[in-house]
Amino acid sequence: MPGVAEVFHASFADHAYPSHTHDTWTLLIVDDGLVRYDLDRHEHGAMPALVTLLPPHVPHDGRAATPSGFRKRVLYLDAAVFDAELVGRAVDEPGIRDAPLRDRISRLHAALSAPGEVLQAESRLALVSDRVRRHLQHRHSPAEAHDPGLAARLRDLLDASVPGGLSLQDAASRLQVSPAYLVRAFTREYGLPPHRYLTGRRLDLARRLLLDGRPPALVATEAGFYDQSHLTRHFRRLLGTTPSRYATSR
């Protein structure tokens, strides 16, 4: 996905990273244990309560701080995700104590692991990167103007994109706003994020195709889902039954 160079999940008991660098931003959450690391020759700690951001091209190492080791999830984000001028602030304060941000990062990992959830992953990445950026800039989110017209224009784009869908970046470019602002404006206006709205429209189409007698395997691709299991997961979540049972009940 644009912006994400690599996703890395790992558990280590006794491995210690030697000093090294990346050409990406390293966004790290620890699920269990404690990590000690030196960043630019200053010692820091990464723990479950913190979000850790390591900037590109700055030497760092890593090692378990307890005998039980540690378990972590890492997103390597393209260097262009954050401005180069923020590198110094990330070196000075690599640990971010922000429980909602950590939860968003965890949800982003889940979205990246689910085939066919591209718009959801894009939306979550936009919100995560925007919140991290505000931490680095040491300012709170300003009050955003209420713009129901913007949300309605995005809804029109989403309706017109079924079944294929569109990327968040494409929608933001067309509407000339930032991706994060677009997600927040839509969610504030309609009470659900753009990816969930698009899934609902795809399910509407799938229901019509099923009632027309189309087999579920074909309906999945014709309605814009990754495969039949992807359709079934969302279908069951919304309607409490499977596409096959829904079709035979018509």
pLDDT at 14 over 90: no
Q: What is the pLDDT of residue 139?
A: 65
What is the H or E stretch that residue 216 is in? Answer: helix 216-222
Q: How confident is the model at residue 10 (pLDDT cuts 50, 70, 90)?
A: very high
13-17, 208-212, 216-220 — which is least confidently predicted?
13-17
Q: How confident is the model at residue 142 (pLDDT cuts 50, 70, 90)?
A: low
What is the H or E stretch that residue 8 is in? Answer: strand 4-12
Q: What is the pLDDT of residue 115?
A: 87
Each as own residue / partner, the long-range contacts of residues 104-107 (CB below 8 Å, 24 or more positions apart, any chain) are 104/128, 104/131, 105/27, 105/29, 105/51, 105/73, 105/75, 106/29, 106/73
CA 245 to chain centre: 32
Q: What is the pLDDT of residue 132?
A: 97
- pLDDT, one tens digit per residue, over 144-155 is 667 779 999 999
